[in-house]
Every structure is written in C-alpha cells, then in structure tokens.
Amino acid sequence: MTVSQNSALTGGGINLFRSDVNLINSNFWNNSPEEVSFNSTDTPNSIIIDYSNIEGGQDSIITNDNGTVTWGDGNIDVDPVFVDATDGNYHLLATSQLINGGHPDSMDSDGSRADIGAYPYLNSYSGPTWYITESGNDTTATGASDDPFRSIQSGINFSSDDDSVTAAAGTYVENINFRGRNIRVAGADRETTIIDGDSSGSVVIFSSGEDSSTLLINFTIQNGSATNGGGIYCSANSSPTLSDLIILNNLAGSGGGMMIYNFSNPLIKNVIFEGNSVTSNGSALFCWARSSPTIRNCIFEGNAADGAVIYSEDKSDPTFINVTITGNTVDNYNSTYTTAVYASGGSAEDSMKVRFLNSVIFNEGTAQIKATGDYNRIDISYSNVLHGQDSIVINDNATITWGDGNIDVDPRFVDEENDNYHLLASSQLINGGHPDSLDSDGSRADIGAYPYLNSYSGPTWYITESGNDTTATGASDDPFRSIQTGINFSSDADSITVGRRDLCREYTIPRPEH
C-alpha cells in the first residue's frame, strides 16, 4: 500500500478510531498534518507496523495517549523516490530503498523479495553483476550489461550477498547506503569514478552490520555534508573493507572524511584523505564507541580542523600501519584538541590504545599527538615523528610506549607541494620499517604509505652524477644519484660503487639498523 500527498484535519495518512491496524510492506509519505494519528477519545487504538516506510519514523506517530504502537522489524524512514509523484506516478525508481525492502518471506511477481509500497519495480534480470553507467537509466533498466542503471544505489538495491556492482568511469551524484548487503561495489578507477554527495548527507553509509566481505573500491568520495561522517559513515557493528579510495572535500561536525562508530571495525587500505574539514574534531577520521579500525597505506593530507585531524575516543583502538600524516591545517594551536592525532581515554571502562607502526607523522605547526586519560595508551614503533617523542603531549596519566626504530628525519618526499608523497631513494625511511614486515618487492618495509619498490637487490649498488633518486634501481645500468641511496638499499657486506664505472671507488659499508 502507498499513501501519499493526502491532507486532513488530523492523520493525513491514517487516523485510527476504535481500530486495531496491521501495516506491512506499506509506504506513508508526505501526508499532512502527520502520517499516523490516534483519535484522542473513546476506545484505545493499536497499530502494528513491520517492513514499512513511515515519514518521520516512530516518533512521528501521534497517539494522543490513547493506544499502543508496536514498531516491528524492517521499518525505515527514507524518501521513496517515486517516478513522478507530481503527476500521480507512484511507481518506484530503481534508486528507491523501498526496493526489496519488504518482509523477507513476501515475494513480488518477478520472484524477488517484495518491495515496500503499491507498485513494485519488476525486473527480469537477477545478477549477480549489476552494471552502472552515466548513460543508463533508473526508470526501466534491469541492471544487466546491455541495460545498465544510472545510479550506484540502484545496483545495491537489487543485489544480494556476494553480488557485485560495477560502475563505469563517470560522476554519480548521489548518497548511497549499503543496506546490509555484503557485496562488492567497484568503480573503474579512483581518479575517474566519482560519487558526489552534493552536500546532501554522508556520501556512503554502512549502518546495517555489513561484514569484511563487503568491499568499496576504486572511487573518489566527495562533497558530502553531514553531522557525522561527511564522506563515509560506518556504524552499528559494520566492518566493511574500504580500498583504493580518495575521500575528498567532505564536511561534517565530526569526522569530515569518515566517522567510525559503535562497534565498527573496518579495514581501510590505500585510501587518500584529502581536503576534508570539520567544525569540531576529526577532519579526516573520527573513531568512537568501541570502534577499532585497521588503517594501512593511507595518506592524510590537506585536511582542516580547529581540533584534531584524527580523533579517537570511548574504548576505540585504531591501528595505523604504513600511514603518512602531513600537510594538514590545525587551527587554534593552544586548544586542548589541536593536534594531528588526539586520543581520549578516562577510566578502566573507557580504556583504549592507539598504535602506530611504520608510519610518518610529520605535521608542521602543531603537536603530533595528544593523549589524555588514565587508561589511554599510545604505542609507536618504527615510525618517523617530527620532533620525536618531545612532540607528544601526555595528560592525565595517559601513557606512551616509545618503541624501537623511531626516527625524526626529513622524509624526503618526491614532491610534497604537488601531493606526491612517494619517497625519493635518498630517504632514510626506506627499509626503515619493522624488520619482520615486508614490502611487495620482498625487501624490509619502508616507513610511510608509499614504499620505494625495487627490482634490484644488490649486492653492489652504483652511484653516478648522472643517476637519479626517483626511479632508479641502483643497478650498474640504472645508477642512483646519491650515496645515501645506496646505503638505504644495502644490506650488511654489500658494496657501494661511486663514480664513473671506469674510474670508480668501491666502499663496503655495514648499514646500521634503525
């Protein structure tokens, strides 16, 4: 049933008088003055609502203290996205989250789970791959390769667990909700496939317990605006995998780039957090309420806040491995929260730990880390921290474990002014990570998000004035420019050969451990 655009003195959608009503798979939207109301006198009323869309949710129901509301499973409060309500067309667009939102045991005539509302979107295609292009449509399309949808949300709506949603290069102006689907949503490339939130809420929402098999990959997530989590909002025990993303120019009260909340533990890898801002804390990332993400090979740069760039509190234990934090703007330097990373504990029940491994924390003009609370701990090892341990501010008996292998050196990025945070071969971050961690070339891990991968492994490293420290391998036919570069890549008993190959001098230099 769909009830929409009606008006009355009371209960524009439905008014109960001496009534007991069950609503299931029903849609009440844009009725005036309210969707559901009870008569205030005479026999009490009751209503049971399941798998229905009620504008304003349960709080919008006016009972006048004359009856009971049983708010069952599967109810939502979202724009139904009709084809054309103005002209009385209450069929659903494929982007509607009412699609496949009915009771799990009820079916539409196409054999799929029932939609909410009077008119289901019937589909002859059943996946498992759903195709999205800028030239597709959300009115009649099936989502097959030869009849693609226009919106990513459409693919999500029709998908089932283990399905894939594939978006071609283009810009998709929408705000998407995974709706509990454990699926793969993939763009063509993160530079060319864009989800633009149009300042209309979080760009991407995970709030229905999505697990680690859920994958969002190869997108730019931009222009979100929300109270929490402008780019991505991950909550309610949701732990997706987020990979190869650019989270760009989003705004929120807290968690401009991303908010992770309420027992959520996503894996975040190969993600750039750039240009995000907040009015409070966590311009790039906010971890809250027993949420413990793992963040790997990520860049945090160009984000702006009055408080912290990364903020963690309330029993959250984030782990940062091979991340680079640099070039972020932090105002109000003397503010309690003004820092690159802020961690807040407080009591035994509120205990938490933030861990950094193989990471660069090099944010000019601010403390690098602040921690407060008796049961709050910061663990840092094999990382490059601007001004070293002295840049960490500890309050209220919080503790820091300053582990092995930490350094304070210029990271020597290729071109920081143009956001190229790859390492020059002369960087002492090369092979400076934990001895048991490896880069993909099989060598000891570098510190930072982007390792300098090398196909050559010595034992003789060649240095000439005509060599280079940007792409060279150090082999005889591809020499480095700097002696330090040879030292960085060498192992004990290796040789470094400096000068013209016909007039060279050879040095055997044991490379010290960090």
**Cβ atoms < 10 Å from Cβ of 125:** 16
**With 60 as the cut, is the pLDDT of residue 18 above it?**
yes
68 plus 178 within the same structural domain? no
Collect all residues with Cβ–Cβ distance below 8 Å to 232 and sequence separation of at least 6: 202, 203, 204, 205, 206, 221, 224, 242, 247, 257, 258, 259
Does some domain include residue 8? yes
CA 326/CA 46 separation, integer angstroms: 58
Alpha-carbon distances, residue 242 vs 163, 234, 247, 431 (angstroms)? 17, 11, 11, 27
Rounded mean pLDDT of 66-83? Answer: 98
Closest by CA to 208, choosing from 262, 129, 257, 162, is 262
Q: Is 455 helix (H, G, I), strand (E, B) or coil?
A: coil
Q: Which two tokens stand for residue 493?
A: 């008993």
Rounded mean pLDDT of 375-382? Answer: 90
Please report which helix (H) or strand (E) contains residue 451, including its range: none
Average per-residue pLDDT for the chain: 94
Rounded mean pLDDT of 499-508? Answer: 51
Choosing from 381, 402, 423, the residue where a domain stops is 402
223 plus 353 within the same structural domain? yes
Q: What residue numbers bound the domain in which 103 lies? A: 1-122
- What is the DSSP code (8-state) at residue 233? E
Does some domain include residue 232? yes
13 plus 113 within the same structural domain? yes
* CA-based torsion, 420, 425, 427, 428: positive or negative: positive
What pLDDT, on the 0 to 100 scale, is given for residue 185? Answer: 98
pLDDT tens figures, 172-221? 999 999 999 999 999 999 999 999 999 999 999 999 999 999 999 999 99
pLDDT tens figures, 453-487? 999 999 999 999 999 999 999 999 999 999 999 99
16 plus 116 within the same structural domain? yes
Phi, psi of 243 (to 5 degrees): -135, 140
Identify whether the C-beta of residue 368 lies closer than 8 Å to the C-beta of residue 389.
no
Q: Is 155 helix (H, G, I), strand (E, B) or coil?
A: helix
- Bridge partners of 22, per DSSP, are 48
Does some domain include residue 409? no
111 plus 226 within the same structural domain? no
Choosing from 362, 382, 402, the residue where a domain stops is 402
Does some domain include residue 468? no
27 plus 116 within the same structural domain? yes
276 plus 390 within the same structural domain? yes
CA angle 16, 22, 23 (to 5 degrees): 95
Rounded mean pLDDT of 272-297? Answer: 95
Does some domain include residue 472? no
Task: Write out the E strands in 223-331.
Answer: 225-228, 232-234, 241-248, 251-254, 258-261, 267-274, 277-278, 285-288, 294-296, 299-301, 304-305, 310-313, 319-321, 324-326, 329-330
Rounded mean pLDDT of 278-301? Answer: 95
**With 60 as the cut, is the pLDDT of residue 507 above it?**
no
Does some domain include residue 353? yes
Regarding beta strands 413-415 and 420-423, do their DSSP bridges make them parallel or antiparallel, or are they unpaired? antiparallel
Specify the number of domains making up the chain.
Answer: 2
Identify whether the C-beta of residue 264 lies closer than 8 Å to the C-beta of residue 232.
no
**With 60 as the cut, is the pLDDT of residue 512 above it?**
no
Choose the weakest-confidence range: 163-167, 170-174, 308-312. Answer: 308-312
Q: Is 30 helix (H, G, I), strand (E, B) or coil?
A: coil
Q: Is 188 exposed, middle or buried (0-12, 13-18, 19+ CB in 10 A)?
A: middle
Closest by CA to 108, choosing from 25, 22, 3, is 25
Choosing from 373, 402, 431, the residue where a domain stops is 402
pLDDT tens figures, 417-438? 999 999 999 999 999 999 999 9
Instruction: Identify the residue with better confidence: 199 or 399.
Output: 199
**Cβ atoms < 10 Å from Cβ of 495:** 15
365 CB-side CA count, 13 A: 11
294 plus 191 within the same structural domain? yes
234 plus 173 within the same structural domain? yes
* CA-based torsion, 156, 181, 160, 270: positive or negative: positive
CA 180/CA 269 separation, integer angstroms: 21
Residue 315 — very low, low, confident or very high, per pLDDT cuts 50/70/90?
A: confident
Rounded mean pLDDT of 442-453? Answer: 98
3-class SS string, 52-109: CEECCCHHHCECCCCEEEEECCCCECCCCCEEEHHHCEEEECCCCCCCCCCCCCCECC
Q: Is 11 helix (H, G, I), strand (E, B) or coil?
A: coil
Does some domain include residue 56? yes
Does some domain include residue 283? yes
300 plus 369 within the same structural domain? yes
Alpha-carbon distances, residue 239 vs 146, 235, 261, 287, 399 (angstroms)? 33, 8, 10, 13, 28
What pLDDT, on the 0 to 100 scale, is given for residue 352? Answer: 80
What pLDDT, on the 0 to 100 scale, is given for residue 490? Answer: 96
pLDDT tens figures, 97-133? 999 999 999 999 999 999 999 999 999 999 999 999 9
Q: Is 418 exposed, middle or buried (0-12, 13-18, 19+ CB in 10 A)?
A: exposed
Residue 504 — very low, low, confident or very high, per pLDDT cuts 50/70/90?
A: very low
CA 427/CA 431 separation, integer angstroms: 10
**With 70 as the cut, is the pLDDT of residue 373 above it?**
yes
245 plus 356 within the same structural domain? yes
Rounded mean pLDDT of 83-90? Answer: 96
83 plus 216 within the same structural domain? no
Rounded mean pLDDT of 149-160? Answer: 98
Q: Is 131 helix (H, G, I), strand (E, B) or coil?
A: strand
Reported pTM: 0.94
CA 66/CA 111 separation, integer angstroms: 40
Regarding beta strands 319-321 and 251-254, do their DSSP bridges make them parallel or antiparallel, or are they unpaired? unpaired
